[in-house]
Structure 1
């Protein structure tokens, strides 16, 4: 009985020590994820660039109206920086108090998964910690209204 308790306690404690999420990691991950959306709210290409890993890819699925075939749309780091510079220059793409809810789905020593819920869409983001900094390396997104993907 004592041996069983010891084994269970060992695995529970061992599992806890594997989790590498620190308070600073949590703050840094949230900061990077928010920089991604806030750089679009108030056009700021530098803020976007700082949040991205150079090999980031942003993807979503759309349907071609003419052929009715699905295809995957992809954006690179360069596309996202240009998006941050140009998307909301007139200030009319977001509400005055835009939604930017974050959910940390999983965090380990070098990787993290985050869900960002914005006004018209949501993004699933993967982040990597390289050279001591968290950066977005993958984004998979979808409009809330599936009809927007047509």
Structure 2
């Protein structure tokens, strides 16, 4: 009986600890994605250095209204992200307190996570990896505000 109770207690402790870690991981993934948005909204590159891996691969498409078409595939490594963030909203004309800041986390595993960010510039699908206990953005696929979006029904 004592062995049974000890086993039950250890299982309960393990499950509780795992639940706390997953909740912390989910919060950390959301925080990294919010840092990504605020890097641009606040022209604050310290947030990029905190939450984006130096090997970042960011690629996507901008819709040019005057031409009524999407750009060719645009690439942005980490150094170009930093340069853009410094100037993109430096005067506060592109984003403000009422600009959208939405983070939807699709999945968090022990080493990888996937999320979607919706911001004034459009949508970004973000891949993150956990390195030395810290969640870092490593891949971003983005586009200007979509003309349509379809999701799978469950």
Equivalent pair of 1:43/1:85 in contact (CA under 8 Å):
yes
Equivalent pair of 2:41/2:96 in contact (CA under 8 Å):
no
**1:68-83 to 2 correspondences below 5 Å:** 71-83=72-84
Distance in 2 between residues matched to 1:42 and 1:108, nearest whole Å: 30
- In the alignment, what sits opposite 1:86? 87
How big is the shift at 1:62? 5.5
How big is the shift at 1:94? 1.2
Q: Structure 2 length as normaliser, TM-score?
A: 0.73
Distance in 1 between residues matched to 2:98 and 2:63, nearest whole Å: 31
Distance in 1 between residues matched to 2:142 and 2:21, nearest whole Å: 25
How big is the shift at 1:139? 0.2
> Structure 2 unaligned runs (5+)?
1-18, 148-154
Runs of 4+ in 1 over 4 A off after TM superposition: 62-66
- In the alignment, what sits opposite 1:49? 49
RMSD: 2.7
- How many residues were matched structurally? 128
Equivalent pair of 2:61/2:70 in contact (CA under 8 Å):
no
- In the alignment, what sits opposite 2:133? 132
> Structure 1 unaligned runs (5+)?
1-18
- The Cα offsets for residues 65-91 of structure 1, whole Å up to 9 and x where unpaired, read as 99x996321101111111221111110
Q: Structure 1 length as normaliser, TM-score?
A: 0.75
- In the alignment, what sits opposite 2:58? 58
Equivalent pair of 2:43/2:86 in contact (CA under 8 Å):
yes
Equivalent pair of 1:20/1:107 in contact (CA under 8 Å):
no
